[in-house]
Amino acid sequence: MVATKTEDKSLSTVTLLQDLPAETRARIAGRCRWRRFGPGQVIIEPESVDRDVFFIASGRVRVVNFGPQGREVSYCDIEAGGSFGELAAIDGGPRSAQVQALDNVLAAALDARTFRQLVEEEPRFAMAVMTRLAGLVRASSTRILDISTLGAHNRVHAELLRLARLGEREDGTARIEPIPQQAELAARVSTVRETVARVMSDLSKRGILQRDKSVLVITDIERLEDLVDSVHDG
């Protein structure tokens, strides 16, 4: 669906473009095709041959893939200000994952040729792209290490700790909002929903995890961290 509200067509919050002059961002925005997607709508299909890079002006998307038996593996969620699709634009290969909208999304699609031209002409943009790709490599390395060295229960601990760090408070607690669905957590750590349910039940009995309406409260981040570290150290 093509966007029609011109007042929404701003790239000022997009991380990759924040170091560029306002006039350059405006020029890029003018080269983009602005599109809206509804919750659950697929934006990119695996193995598709389109090469656009997407900048998220509002909303959230999820990057997932599927195993031979159709089991979903969730890579990450990307918030407003993020981007996706850079790999295919850079190397010309097919899409490596599916990207779907989690809620109402407004995104700007930039063609691969213009994207590569920006990389060549704007050093600050090129550095931002390299920094983002380096972050993806680091995150993938951590995930591979966790899958290779941690059991399913401990992978759930590690994912909850990662989410807790995002909502950490000065008193050593954290609030995760909204509460992630068990199937969602299972997809992120390559396990099944039943395992996630058992782990969350155990953490609740230990007093480490509580539910407060639509918020998941980690009452003691240090204790959760100890559970993760004890496996790595052992």
DSSP string, 75-114: EEEE-TT-EE-HHHHHH-PPP-SEEEESS-EEEEEE-HHH
**147-154 average pLDDT score:** 87
* CATH superfamily assigned to domain 2-148: Jelly Rolls (2.60.120.10)
d(CA 118, CA 232): 42
For the ranges 15-24, 70-79, 88-97, 155-164, which has the lowest average pLDDT? 70-79
Tens-place pLDDT, residues 72-110: 888 889 999 999 999 999 999 999 999 999 999 999 999
Is 200 or 213 the better-scoring residue by pLDDT? Answer: 200
What pLDDT sits at residue 108? Answer: 97
Bridge partners of residue 216, in order along the sequence: 176, 211
What pLDDT sits at residue 67? Answer: 76
What pLDDT sits at residue 81? Answer: 95
Q: Given a cut of 70, is residue 184 above it in pLDDT?
A: yes
Percent of the chain with pLDDT over 70: 94
* 1 pLDDT tier (thresholds 50, 70, 90): low
Q: What is the mean pLDDT of the chain?
A: 90
What pLDDT sits at residue 8? Answer: 47
Listed residue (194, 195, 163, 189) closest to 176, CA to CA:
163
**137-142 average pLDDT score:** 89
CATH 2.40.40.20 fits 150-229, yes or no: no
What pLDDT sits at residue 9? Answer: 66
Listed by start position, the domains of the chain span 2-148, 150-229
* 209 pLDDT tier (thresholds 50, 70, 90): very high
